[in-house]
Amino acid sequence: MPVMVITGTGTEVGKTVVTAAVAAAALAAGRSVAVLKAAQTGVRPDEPGDAEEVARLAGAVTTAELARYPDPLAPATASRRAGRAPVRPHQVAERAAKLATEHDLVLVEGAGGLLVRFDAAGGTLADAAELLSAPVLVVAQAGLGTLNTTELTVRELRGRGLDPAGVVIGSWPAEPDLAARCNLLDLPDVTGAPLLGAVPAGAGSLGAADFRASAPHWLAPRLGGTWDAEAFRVREAP
């Protein structure tokens, strides 16, 4: 699995923190890691972006960013408003493939959801994943509404012949409500994809040392961790 694409079911679902957790677990296992941010929006030139945040939390990863646009919008819209060239799916795939020749694992983080447009031609992260033939990890919300958005995302992946590696809950609340607890059972059922982790809410505010020590406990063995989905469901589900 030299390249893994990480997408969310929408914005603000914990995608960057999950990317950092996967990177931290891989580093702890002795693997070299690169993180590629396909298109960074809503960040000034002098501000750290998502790739830098992954490095801050996870440790010694190689970071790369194809383009940066100041407006917090979809990349296609943000590039148009900025008067700058858009990111194309083939550019994402080419850079990821190059990084894969130099690293054990390359994590490609998208912007928002799977079908957010990079360019006026309608290119998306899904198109880049197709070019790479890479598995796609889906980061989902914990609570009400997540079943629909997560199932739609996984259906789109399968419709393109892509491998949905699994689902990680990007922000598991300290006091989950009934919907969140039921979703632990329902998400694998409606998507047909395994639940591969649950990152605690607020994990991104941990100090780097604590984050790196804890990350493997949030992720299933397929992602290099020790998290047990069944034990978690027994403890948290109704």
Domain boundaries, the chain: 3-236
151/209 Cα distance (integer angstroms): 35
Whether the predicted pLDDT of 154 surpasses 80: yes
Contact partners, residue 106, CB within 8 Å, separation at least 6: 2, 3, 4, 33, 34, 35, 36, 96, 99, 100
Domain 3-236, classified CATH 1.10.3720.10, yes or no: no
pLDDT value of position 13 = 95
pLDDT band of 237, cuts 50, 70, 90: confident
Whether the predicted pLDDT of 18 surpasses 70: yes
| Average pLDDT score over residue span 191-207 | 97
| Average pLDDT score over residue span 73-95 | 96
- Single out the residue of 41, 6, 11, 10 nearest to residue 22, CA to CA: 6
DSSP secondary structure, 101-147, as one string: TT-SEEEEEEEEETT-BSSTT--BHHHHHHHHT--EEEEE-SSTTHH
pLDDT value of position 45 = 87
Cα distances (Å, whole numbers) of residue 4 to 11, 140, 223? 19, 16, 10
Catalytic hit among 19, 20, 37, 166: 37
8/16 Cα distance (integer angstroms): 9
pTM above 0.85, yes or no: yes
Whether the predicted pLDDT of 1 surpasses 70: no
Q: Mean pLDDT of all residues in the chain?
A: 96
Is 15 annotated in the active site? no
